[in-house]
Structure 1
Amino acid sequence: FEAIAAAELCGCCFELIIVADNFGVATYAVFLFTLTIWWGRNWGSATACPYTYMEQIVEGEVSFKEASLKIWAQLMGGCCIFRYVQLYWWFELAETHEGRAFEDCKADLQVNQYLGAFIEGFATLCCRLASKVISEKDARFGAFIDSFIGTSLVVAAFNYSGGYFNPVLATALKWGCAGNSALEHIIVYWIGSCMGAVLSVPLFKTATFRNMFLTDTKTKSE
């Protein structure tokens, strides 16, 4: 399921690049918001994102071997889907697909690698903390709120790091693109995002954070 979910995520996001290039970031954001809600409702336990399993390793919920296999499946699904996308782009059934199948790609990172890693890491941290809070509160419109927060952060980071917040997605879409070395890509999109996600685990458990964001939940449970 992880391979299929990652393939679907990356396939859709390849097309979202076309949307952003031709219709602007606002239109891109609307589609991303809608898709995020749909993915959340249809993927079940699949996440298409490696750091969720890194969080589970920290929590002691999965073994390193199991997490590694699932992350590998995500990478395979995400990276292999490009051949399918490239095929229908090659047919040029839509005007916006003309010349895209074999076009040289360019990296989205517009700042230095360390600032880029900070942006990806901090935004991922915010996304994960928001998701955990929403999940624990069991908010009525939690999926919409979660999607809105994630989409807003993507748009905020769009012109700086690209706003991927998912190492598999960034690798499938931008690995080997002109403008970034392999090391820069790993630092920004893998180390940055994964550190932000892993940091969310202990931070979410701190009394200060829980008192700030989960006091209502605690009161109701009592």
Structure 2
Amino acid sequence: MSMTSLGISTGFMIGYCVLAQIARRFAKRFVDREGIVPVLINEAIAAAELCACCFELIIVADNFGVAAYAVFLFMLTIWWGKVWGDASACPYTHMEDLVEGKTSLKEVALRTWAELMGGCCVYRIVQVFWWFEFAETHKGRAFEECNADLQVHPYLGAAIEGLATLLCRLASKALSEKEPKFSNIIDSFIGTSLVVAGKRKSANQITLLVISSVHMFSAFNYSGGYFNPVLATALKWGCRGHTNLEHIIVYWIGACVGALLSVPVYRVPVVRRFLVGEHKEKEE
């Protein structure tokens, strides 16, 4: 495939990130900052931005390989970490807050609804862009039947999504607590590594935990490596290769259970010692 097609895909992702940032600025300026409404708008914008870029990342992965996909995903996650603010575009982060007593069930439900609306509705914008077929890689993609990424039994797929989500959330919690320099970049590297099977090595304990576990499987090849129910639903709901129930089991139950398990697991002393070196802090 030509580099022109890759450039068009890059331009689309950059363009949508710019549009999303403009939407955030407008929302911040014209929407009352009090109450739940601005929170829901930010979640919807973040989810739409995430899903629009990931639709195009599918094109990149299919035509230019997983390495190119990983580079784009890495850079995008760094950007999102800087501009999303309190938005996460991912429902299980709010579920974790609920378990920890930081939010209400009503807010969790509303945020999840806003994320689903933003993520699922943005496909129409992407579809129009593909329909124009500016790039040869977009030919026939606008209306083709999608195929599921699940290549294993649904219960195994749920275990893969759940375990990887658990590891990712443990790493994020540790980074949030330790606040190392370039923590956003480290977190982005971990998330990207989880998706593409983690073939790099690192001396950082947090990263090492993730990479060593990911060597057991390639989430990208077996379940798609979404680790986000909203993203998986926006991209793969109703696709050929799994039923809707199987989709829910793998991408909602699997990922959410993994994330919720991270809350009690992170409190286990041996886990905390490994991740944040709590015993050293106490000795000092």
TM-score (norm 2): 0.76
Partners of 1:221 and 1:159 in 2: CA distance: 44
2:229 maps to: 167
Question: 2:168 maps to which residue?
Answer: 127
**Aligned-pair distance for 1:175?**
0.1
> Aligned pair 1:33/2:74, yes or no?
yes
Alignment-mate amino acid for residue 185 of structure 1 = H
> 1:99: how far off?
0.7
* Structure 2 counterparts to residues 147-186 of structure 1, below 5 A: 147-156=188-197, 157-186=219-248
- SS of corresponding position for 1:158: helix
Percent of aligned positions that are identical: 71
CA distance in 1, matches of 2:171, 2:240: 33
| Shift in Å, 1:145 | 1.0
CA distance in 2 between partners of 1:203 and 1:37 (Å): 26
Matches of 1:218 and 1:43, distance apart in 2: 34
- Give the counterpart letter for 1:108 in structure 2: D
Question: In the alignment, is residue 210 of structure 1 matched against residue 272 of structure 2?
Answer: yes
Q: State the distance in 2 between where 1:221 and 1:110 align.
A: 48
- Maintained 8 Å contact 1:137/1:217: no
Q: Does 1:51 align with 2:92?
A: yes
Larger RCO of the pair (alpha carbons < 8 Å, separation 6+) = 1
- Distance of 1:134 and 1:53 partners within structure 2: 18
| 1:30-67 CA distance string (max 9 Å, x none) | 00011000000010000000000000000010000011
Superposition deviation, residue 96 in structure 1 = 1.0
Which of 111, 119, 124 lines up with 2:152 in the alignment? 111
**How far did residue 216 of structure 1 move?**
5.8
Match of 1:210, as an amino acid?
R
- Structure 1 residues 138 and 217: alpha-carbon distance in aligned structure 2, compared to 1, 3 A threshold: farther
Q: Quick one: distance in 1 between partners of 2:55 and 2:162?
A: 22
Q: How big is the alpha-carbon RMSD for the aligned residues of Structure 1 and Structure 2?
A: 1.3
2:105 counterpart residue number? 64
Q: Distance in 2 between matches of 1:82 and 1:212?
A: 42
Separation in 2 of the partners of 1:56 and 1:132?
12
Which shows bigger deviation, 138-147 or 185-194? 138-147
Give yes or no for contact 2:226–2:232 (8 Å, CA) kept in 1.
yes
Query: Which 5+ residue runs of structure 2 have no aligned equivalent?
Result: 1-41, 198-218
SS in 1 for 2:222: coil
Structure 2 match to 1:6: 47
Q: Is the 8 A contact 2:272 2:278 kept in 1?
A: no
Aligned-pair CA distance for 1:206: 1.3
Alpha-carbon offset, residue 211 of structure 1 = 1.4
The residue identity in structure 2 corresponding to 1:182 is N
Letter of the 2:47 counterpart: A
Counterpart pick for 2:64 among 10, 16, 23: 23
Moved over 3 A (4+): none
> What does residue 193 of structure 1 align with?
255
Q: What per-residue deviation string (whole Å, max 9, x for no partner) do you get for residues 134-189 of structure 1?
A: 11110102111111111011012110000000000000000000010000000000
Aligned partners of 1:49 and 1:167 also within 8 Å:
yes
Distance of 1:220 and 1:39 partners within structure 2: 35
How many residue pairs get aligned? The number is 222
In 1, the alpha carbon distance for the partners of 2:136 and 2:164 equals 34
Distance in 2, Cα, partners of 1:56 & 1:112: 31
